[in-house]
Amino acid sequence: MSKCQVCHGKDGLAKLPDAPNIAGQKEAYLVKALIAFKDGERKNEQMTVVVKGLSDEDIANVAAYYSSIKISVQVPP
């Protein structure tokens, strides 16, 4: 989790311009993305390094945490 927070924030709002916000992201999407990075199907310098250290349980926990953040949106007029 602490590794995720460096770029994606504890609140799931990206701290770097190239990183996506993941607050309240769909749990299934997060799991799928992390597995895709782990399998090399999706490529990203940072993510490829970070996911190497994640077990299936870690992936499930990270996805559960970030998806549990409630988001509300305000569409521009």
Q: How many residues does the chain have?
A: 77
- Residue from 3, 7, 19, 38 in contact with its own copies (CB under 8 A): 19
* Alpha-carbon separation of residue 40 from 6, 19, 21, 33 (angstroms): 22, 18, 21, 10
Q: Which stretch binds its own copies (CB under 8 A): 36-44, 45-53, 54-62?
A: 36-44
65 in Cβ contact with 31 (< 8 Å): no
Q: How far apart are the C-alpha atoms of 72 and 77, rounded to whole Å?
A: 16
Q: How many residues bind to its own copies according to rule CB under 8 A?
A: 29
Considering only 6, 41, 49, 61, the residue that binds its own copies (CB under 8 A) is 41
Q: Is residue 50 close enough to count as binding its own copies by CB under 8 A?
A: no
Q: Rule CB under 8 A: which residues touch its own copies? A: 10-14, 17-21, 23-26, 28-29, 32, 41-43, 68-76
